[in-house]
Structures are given as structure tokens and as C-alpha cells.
């Protein structure tokens, strides 16, 4: 199926009334399809990438495997995967490998997040991911939304792995932490790379060190050099600037793709 046919598949409105009331930027009518023909498995393109697919396991903000994650693998559009390969080659020269937490996310997984957020009583993982927040604000503050750029297939959540120490690089905060400490401009200016140590945005007075800020900048700068754009509230989140399906939200599950 060619791209033109793919993009004219039935348009549906996925946003629920609850989520759209939050003013989420992603709430709009979109194309939906389960076509996998323009996707690849990341490790087929970037064979040295390390996968830690958080939503396949239970160590995530929900505390259970997320719907639609059938295998612990990571998928991207072909264009995004090729650009990620260039990032990998870049950081390998600096002594790092890429570690992937999430990439393509099926709409079924996003729907799971929405149901979880609506269940205010379920706070099992609050101590680990959102200790400073009341769960009731997750929609209003857009930590949870009925749509995600991940579902378009060209967004990836990742960090760096140090080949010398054989440890994940210290970024001063965990993946999927709900709070200003995850913002790229926390304690510094990501545009200039200047560290200022200003932790005034942290409700609990948390901070990150100069080294932790610089580690975030190494990842950010490598991603920007190879065609990705950052997200202003998550240091680990990047989307291909020229993503091939900006209006299409995919529905197929996360599992190893069958190569033709």
C-alpha cells in the first residue's frame, strides 16, 4: 500500500471528552491505520541499540504491562530509524550507545494511559514517578493525553549508555518522571548549553549537577544534529522533524516485524 492510500484511510476522532477538555495539543481528527509497511524494528537498523522497553514490563508509571506491547521490541518509521542510526554512529565515537525506552506506541497503549489516569485511586507507582503531583492534575497539566506523537511512529524516548563504565549515563532523573525536573531547561539553558543550577521550578527543591546537565546536552545535541526535534518537558523525548506521517496515528501492536 503506497503512502497516498495510507493517508486517506478512514479519519476518526480518537480524543475522549475527558482528555480534550484539558486543551491537549494533539486532540484533533486524524487518520488511523494498522499498516506496518513503512516501519522497521530499530535493532535491525541500529543493531547495537540497547532496549529497555518500560511499557512491556511493570516498572513504569502505571505499574503493569501496557496494552498493545506484545513483545519487548521497538519500532520506528524507516526515516526515523535511519536518522537514529546516524545518531548512534555519532555517540559511539564519544564512547556511548543508545538505550531505548520507547518508540512507536500503538493507540491502544495511549488509551490504557487515559483509563489509568481517570482512575484517581490507582497511585501504586506515585512514589517512583510523580511524588510531587496529585493524580487529578495529570490531564490538566498534559502529562496524560488521549493522543501521543509516539503513535505517529517517528518519536523515540531514549538515553545514553556509557561503554566504559557499562552503566546508563546519569541524567539526574528517571525516564517518565512527571515534574519540572524532567524539562530540558531545568538548571540550565538547552539552547546555549549553559548550566545555571537554578532549581526554582522544582516543588521539592530538587536539583541536577553540572555533569548531569551536560550529559543531557550530549544526547540532545546528537539528536538535533541528525534531524530530530526536542520536546520542551522531557529531556528523553525526540521526534523526527520531517516525520513522514504527521497526521496518521497507527494502531498495530508492538512486536517484531516480519521481514518480507
Query: For the packed helices 210-225 and 78-92, what is the interaxial angle rounded to 10 degrees?
Result: 130
Q: Is 34 in contact with 68 (CB distance < 8 Å)?
A: no
Which cell goes with 202?
522544582
C-alpha cell at 203: 516543588
In the three-class reduction of DSSP (H, G, I as helix; E, B as strand; rest coil), residue 31 is classed as: strand
- Residues 6 or more apart whose CB falls under 8 angstroms from that of 216 comprise 171, 172, 184, 190, 208, 235
Identified catalytic residue from 26, 52, 181, 234: 234
How many Å apart are CA 60 and CA 81, to the nearest integer? 24
Q: CA dihedral defined by 159, 161, 162, 163, rounded to 10 degrees? A: -150
Beta strands in 63-214 (DSSP E): 75-77, 96-102, 155-162, 167-168, 188-189, 194-195
Please confirm, yes or no, whether 234 is among the known catalytic residues: yes
Active site residues: 234
Amino acid at each position: 500500500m503506497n503512502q497516498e492510500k495510507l493517508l486517506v484511510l478512514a479519519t476518526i476522532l480518537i480524543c475522549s471528552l475527558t482528555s480534550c477538555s484539558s486543551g491537549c495539543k494533539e486532540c484533533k481528527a486524524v487518520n488511523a491505520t494498522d499498516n506496518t509497511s513503512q516501519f522497521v524494528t530499530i535493532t535491525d537498523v541500529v543493531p547495537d541499540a540497547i532496549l529497555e522497553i518500560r511499557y512491556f514490563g511493570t516498572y513504569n508509571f502505571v505499574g503493569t504491562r501496557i496494552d498493545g506491547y506484545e513483545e519487548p521490541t521497538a519500532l520506528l518509521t524507516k526515516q526515523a530509524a535511519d536518522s537514529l542510526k546516524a545518531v548512534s554512529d555519532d555517540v559511539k565515537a564519544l564512547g556511548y550507545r543508545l538505550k531505548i525506552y520507547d518508540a512507536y506506541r500503538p493507540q491502544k497503549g495511549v488509551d490504557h494511559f487515559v483509563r489509568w489516569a481517570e482512575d484517581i485511586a490507582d497511585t501504586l507507582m506515585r512514589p517512583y514517578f510523580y511524588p510531587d503531583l496529585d493524580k487529578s492534575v495529570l490531564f490538566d497539566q498534559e502529562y496524560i493525553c488521549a493522543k501521543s506523537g509516539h503513535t505517529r511512529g517517528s518519536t523515540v524516548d531514549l538515553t545514553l549508555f556509557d561503554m566504559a563504565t557499562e552503566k546508563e549515563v546519569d541524567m539526574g532523573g528517571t525516564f517518565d518522571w512527571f515534574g519540572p525536573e524532567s524539562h530540558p531547561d531545568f538548571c540550565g539553558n538547552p539552547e546555549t548549553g549553559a548550566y545555571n543550577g537554578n532549581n526554582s521550578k522544582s516543588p521539592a527543591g530538587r536539583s541536577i549537577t553540572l555533569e548531569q546537565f551536560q550529559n543531557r546536552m550530549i544526547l540532545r545535541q546528537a539528536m538535533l544534529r541528525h534531524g530530530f526535534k526536542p520536546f520542551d518537558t522531557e529531556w528523553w523525548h525526540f521526534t523526527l522533524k520531517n516525520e513522514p506521517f504527521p497526521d496518521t496515528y497507527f494502531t498495530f501492536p508492538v512486536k517484531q516485524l516480519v521481514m518480507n
